[in-house]
Amino acid sequence: MEKLITCTAANVSTDDGIVLQGNGADQWSITKKTLVGGVQTGVELLIVDNGLMQITIILTRGMSVLDIQWNDIRIGWDSPVKQVVHPNFVNLEDQGGLGWLSGFNELMVRCGVAFAGHPGDDNGEFLTLHGRIGNLPASRVEVSFEEAPEPTIRVRGLVEEKRFKFGVFELWTELATVVGSDKITIHDRLTNPSEYSQEYQLIYHTNFGRPFLEQDAQFVAPVKTLAPLNEYAAEDLATFQRYLGPTSGYGEQVYCATMLADPQHWTTTMLHNADASLGVAVGYDVQTLPYFNLWKNTDTERDGFVTGLEPATGFPYNRSVERAGGRVNKIGAGQSVDFSMSLQALTADGVAATNTAIQSLMGDRKTKLIETLASEQ
């Protein structure tokens, strides 16, 4: 006789049930789950099923998007970190400020908002990698559905990043998706409830693995300027658009860019696979996200084969470098700043159409590849 069971301490979830759902033909739903076991215990998820895509939002991790299931394709990436880590198990200060990496496995995680980017000292204050906002739970979550003009599901979450005397921010995040569509849009509003103006930084760290990323996959975008983050990235500046397959010892190469945009300040970037049969488009409003960071991390499959397309308020250097470069803005007392981005799944036709749109944005302008490091701009 042998018995084998799995305790409730194992890696399972409770099903908290349907939060909201459609009636009739347009089947859609919003479901809530709470994870149980390991470093996941207590993590709350909302799964938004728009009929075509199942979008998983992590309420407990700053309203990050864990992944999107699109037909039989998972949009996201395979981090060696497999659990959806509760922030209580992430010590941001750990290992010289690298603790954030203990929980990093999302399709989209916001970095910020008092600071983002590299850990290190900024004028006597030690900043940890990518800030606190991605490891704070939403304190208020609202879901809504509107029939017109298009049947749209909306999930809003308030994430508060606050410390008496040292930074007080309220970030209302919003994720919207039209029923049956292959697209999500993010509209965030960052408010400074203080009576003092405050510096802020924000990076939309949006990450993709297979099947979009593979050998000879391409990054396509209306790049105005692009410079390497460091010397290692500079070595391969000329081939920044092309991806390698999984490469032992590759680590990462990061490029710091600005994009051309349409008259409505919207720009579109794209990653597509080698034969252009599959892709993802990341669009965003350059008015409040004037920079873009391309994170190429085509390391081994098991250690993280991934690339990040990252609209941002600046480059991922430490805030001290960013301030010196003029890329750190302030929000006035009681004021707000809005941010918008979108993520769309593309089949071959979509890849072709997006390519055309990007070429049209470029017109006859050429990308300016800058050989000096972005920190020296």
Q: Of 51-90, which residues contact a copy of itself (CB under 8 A)? A: 59-60, 79-83, 87-89
Binding mask 218-257 for a copy of itself (x = CB under 8 A): ------------------------------x--x------
Distance in angstroms (rounded) separating the CA atoms of residues 70 and 92: 32
Scan for tokens 């701009």, then name that residue: 377
Site for a copy of itself in 256-295 (CB under 8 A): none
DSSP E strands: which ranges in 101-239?
Answer: 108-113, 120-122, 125-127, 140-146, 152-162, 168-178, 183-191, 198-208, 218-220, 223-228
For a copy of itself, give the closer residue by CB, 122 or 182: 122
| Binding positions for a copy of itself, 322-341, rule CB under 8 A | 333-334
Decide: is 123 part of the binding site for a copy of itself (CB under 8 A). Answer: no
19 contributes a contact to a copy of itself by CB under 8 A: yes
User: Is 303 a binder of a copy of itself (CB under 8 A)?
Assistant: yes
Window 151 to 190, contacts with a copy of itself (CB under 8 A): 157, 160, 162-166, 168
* CB closer to a copy of itself, 96 vs 239: 96
Applying CB under 8 A, among 31, 50, 102, 269 the residue interacting with a copy of itself is: 102
CA 29 to chain CA mean position, Å: 23
Min dist CB 219 to a copy of itself, Å, is 21
d(CA 218, CA 221): 10
Contact 272, 218 (CB under 8 A): yes
In Å, how far from its chain's centre is CA 249? Answer: 25
Is 124 a residue that touches a copy of itself (CB under 8 A)?
A: yes
Choosing from 144, 239, 359, 372, the residue that interacts with a copy of itself (CB under 8 A) is: 144
- Cα gap 175→138, rounded to integer Å: 13
> Is 9 among the residues that bind a copy of itself (CB under 8 A)?
yes
Please give the Cα distance from 67 to 90 (Å, whole number).
20
Q: Of 104, 212, 291, 292, which one interacts with a copy of itself (CB under 8 A)?
A: 104
Residues paired with residue 101 on neighbouring β-strands, in sequence order: none
